[in-house]
Amino acid sequence: MVALCGLIVGSSTQEEQLRSGGPGNASYDYVVIGGGTAGLALASRLSASASVAVIEAGGIYEQDNGNQSIVPYYGLTMPFLATTEDYPRQPLMDWGLLSTPQPSAGNRRIHYAQGKTLGGSSAINTMAYHRGTIGSYQRWADLVGDQSYTFDKILPYFKRSCTLTPPNLQKRNAPNATVLYDPSAFDNSLNGPLQVSWGNWVDPTQSWLARALQAIGQTLNPSGFSSGKVSGGAWVPSTIDPKDATRSSSESSYLRSVLEKKKAGITVHLHSQATKILFNDDKKATGVAVSTEGRGYVISAKKEVILSAGVFHSPQLLMLSGIGPAATLSAYSIGILSDLPGVGQNLWDQIFFNVLRGISVPNTGTYLATPAQQAVALQQYFSNAAGPYSSAGGYLSFEKLPPKSLAGLSSRTASLLSQFPSDWPEIEYIASGFPSGIANLTTIGAISATLLTPLSRGNVTIRSASISDPPVIDLGWLSDAADGETFVAAFKRVREAWNSPVIANITVGPEIVPGDSVFSDADILAFIRQSAQPIWHASSTCAMGKAGEKGAVVDTKARVFGVKGLRVVDNSITPLSVPGHPQSTVYMLAEKIAEDILKGR
Ligand SMILES: Cc1cc2nc3c(=O)[nH]c(=O)nc-3n(C[C@H](O)[C@H](O)[C@H](O)COP(=O)(O)OP(=O)(O)OC[C@H]3O[C@@H](n4cnc5c(N)ncnc54)[C@H](O)[C@@H]3O)c2cc1C
Ligand SMILES: *[C@@H]1O[C@H](CO)[C@@H](O)[C@H](O)[C@H]1NC(C)=O
Ligand SMILES: *[C@@H]1O[C@H](CO)[C@@H](O)[C@H](O)[C@H]1NC(C)=O
Ligand SMILES: *[C@@H]1O[C@H](CO)[C@@H](O)[C@H](O)[C@H]1NC(C)=O
Ligand SMILES: *[C@@H]1O[C@H](CO)[C@@H](O)[C@H](O)[C@H]1NC(C)=O
Ligand SMILES: *[C@@H]1O[C@H](CO)[C@@H](O)[C@H](O)[C@H]1NC(C)=O
Ligand SMILES: *[C@@H]1O[C@H](CO)[C@@H](O)[C@H](O)[C@H]1NC(C)=O
């Protein structure tokens, strides 16, 4: 048991002890709102030379979610990640956010999971690790007018955030799932806290469907996806600690590594919701109003307040505190500190659909179908950090749609797509599967396509002046016709992969979803509107930008325009949704802004 500054790790009385950092006025150099992915990375760095309080609405996931958030395989199957309105609730872990009905997506209200726990969404995500493209970060740098955001310049922050363990080929036992990567994109001498490694298990279904994607032109990328090139296929690493094959979250990596140093100046307030950011007459943030189980108090910031409440709650808290579109604030009688129309706007969201077919090879779930199989797998997991439980997935495949796909697009859509940087893929394909439950059919295979160039934009706003009402989230899905068109082209690519001769021996029967009767462009689009799902990469609702520019909320050092002493650091400040999976970029941002703060910038 380690007891430090209010947070006790490894004790059954954890929760109780944490309240020693609990209700009551107090004062710290920095107050971080949200102990999530960015929040804990940033707080850990600042704590090296300052006192830091972290205000987190949730608890400790290792206690509240059993092994579900620890064992990699469960990361793919947690029930509360379901996106339908009737999803199984897990209020100890998830905010339970529902979107407004989406008119261009079957009028569905989408359950959009977001981690409400120490570690935030890094405690519930599917752990894929890779970075964006050189062109996407160049676009970011150009949009915000700061060339310190180019890939070359941010690479040091990616490097210092993580430690990469090369694949263990013996445990992995899959010569047909070759890992290619560029070791120079990592630097283990920096002892980055986040653990990044390859699963000690390969899902046979994925290895087969990967072949199909390769056969339609998405060949293996020789450098993996962490050195600025994101095209073709790769077995990507995951945020898994290879020592015992457990999830590496911002809590299990950053926070714990700081607490272990025993000098940590970090105090975590659990089950504590920030209700408002407080300012003095000079519009300088002086602290945060906090509520812990109904008890209100103030945590003061001697230096700065840092808001890291995530893509939906950071804009909400800004608005509740008087920063946002003037009309919205006035509508709820909130005094206006800074009229920033961009707060809550510019929501980018990557969404996907699946095409399902029966296949005759097993998937990971097949190996865990019976108690006897689970016993074997548990043995492999606990004695060797290997086997089906030890891995979260792995094969990703990206492409710029080929000319024959683009030829079918309207000139408007083609023109909009051509405005993305030349190395920014339109589509990411992911292969997966699940046991079929049908007697003579081993597995149902899934090939999904995710749209990485969404032109639809959503928004986030408030419904009252109180934190107790959740934010109003309009995802804007498929509201721009270009997205539907691009998706129809991607759907045809997915069918092409399914029909590839290299997997002819393993496909069984006709297409299950949506089925061969869905054939015309109109029917394909209707299927996509009904079935699209979030891949949980929402971003950009407090966008970084140039001072005075419409839509800009923070400057390139993450300082909120119009007030002092307040930064926002999380996935809400990226001005665009970097193609692919965002967690690496969130950690990079936390490292970059922490350095700015520590250097007095
Ligand atoms: C299910 C899922 C799967 C994903 N899979 C992947 C993947 O495989 N790879 C990848 O790269 N990315 C993935 N992502 C995306 C990635 O995890 C997120 O983009 C990233 O974690 C966001 O970090 P953040 O710091 O912006 O927010 P979060 O990590 O969500 O942190 C926000 C924190 O603020 C707290 N909070 C909010 N409001 C308040 C308040 N008022 N008071 C106190 N605390 C508050 C929350 O409880 C939370 O802890 C996934 C996300 C999800 C949800
Ligand atoms: C806590 O701080 C608030 C605001 O500064 C103040 O009104 C209140 O009296 C303080 N409470 C205690 C117990 O000191
Ligand atoms: C996870 O916990 C459940 C319930 O306690 C248990 O049945 C299962 O074996 C555990 N799985 C692993 C991989 O530890
Ligand atoms: C790859 O090897 C694994 C383990 O031997 C096997 O289960 C799987 O079917 C193979 N996949 C392909 C595409 O050959
Ligand atoms: C959000 O977007 C929708 C659709 O464009 C629009 O009707 C609505 O007014 C927007 N809401 C806010 C708060 O911007
Ligand atoms: C399909 O299986 C047959 C018989 O096992 C084999 O001869 C053939 O090469 C296989 N085809 C492919 C494309 O793998
Ligand atoms: C399963 O078996 C039944 C009876 O043999 C057969 O009619 C059916 O086509 C089979 N299904 C598949 C997917 O092979």
Same domain, 296 and 398: no
- Per the structure, the count of domains in the chain is 2
Helix (H) or strand (E) holding 29: strand 26-33
Confidence class for position 10, pLDDT limits 50, 70, 90: very low
Q: What is the CATH number of the domain that holds 293?
A: 3.50.50.60
Please give the single-letter amino acid code of residue 575. P
**H-assigned helices in 201-309:** 204-215, 256-260
**Cα–Cα separations (whole angstroms), residue 539 to 430, 544, 582, 591:** 21, 11, 9, 18
Helix (H) or strand (E) holding 381: helix 371-384
pLDDT tens digits along 332-384: 999 999 999 999 999 999 999 999 999 999 999 999 999 999 999 999 999 99
In a domain, 25, yes or no: yes
Ligand 4, atom 10: nearest CA belongs to which residue? 204
| pLDDT greater than 60 at residue 18 | no
On the CB side of 135, CA atoms within 13 Å amount to 12
pLDDT tens digits along 42-89: 999 999 999 999 999 999 999 999 999 999 999 999 999 999 999 999
Token digits of residue 495? 């069918």
Token digits of residue 234? 């790769």
Same domain, 298 and 206: no
In a domain, 344, yes or no: yes
Answer positive or negative: Cα dihedral of 546, 551, 556, 562.
positive
Say if residue 419 carries a ligand binding annotation: no
Same domain, 344 and 385: no
- Give the separation between CA 308 and CA 293, rounded to whole angstroms: 21
Q: Which atom of ligand 6 is nearest to the CA of 504?
A: 13
167 CA to centre of own chain: 23
pLDDT tens digits along 290-330: 999 899 999 999 999 999 999 999 999 999 999 999 999 99
For residue 262, what pLDDT is reported?
A: 64
Q: Is the CB of residue 310 less than 8 Å from the CB of residue 301?
A: no
Q: Which residues contact 262 (CB under 8 A, 6 or more apart)?
A: 2, 4
For residue 29, what pLDDT is reported?
A: 97
For residue 13, what pLDDT is reported?
A: 40
Same domain, 63 and 202: no
Say if residue 510 carries a ligand binding annotation: no
* Mutational test site, ligand 1, from 583, 587, 589, max ligand atoms within 8 Å of CB: 583
Query: Which residues belong to the active site?
Result: 537, 581
Burial class (CB in 10 A: 0-12, 13-18, 19+), 281: exposed
Same domain, 330 and 181: no
* Mutational test site, ligand 1, from 90, 125, 269, max ligand atoms within 8 Å of CB: 125
Q: What is the CATH number of the domain that holds 523?
A: 3.30.560.10
Q: For residue 9, how many other CB atoms are within 10 A of its CB? A: 18
Residue where a domain terminates, one of 511, 531, 551: 531
For residue 8, what pLDDT is reported?
A: 36
In the chain, what percentage of residues exceed pLDDT 90? 92
Maximal C-alpha separation, the chain:
72
- Rg over alpha carbons for the chain, rounded to the nearest Å, is 23
For residue 272, what pLDDT is reported?
A: 96
E strand map for 34-83: 52-55
Among the bound ligands, the one closest to the CA of 442: 7
Q: Is the CB of residue 136 less than 8 Å from the CB of residue 578?
A: yes
The residue range of the domain holding 496 is 167-247+351-453+479-531
Q: For residue 323, how many other CB atoms are within 10 A of its CB? A: 29
What separation in Å is there between the alpha carbon of 459 and the centre of ligand 5?
6
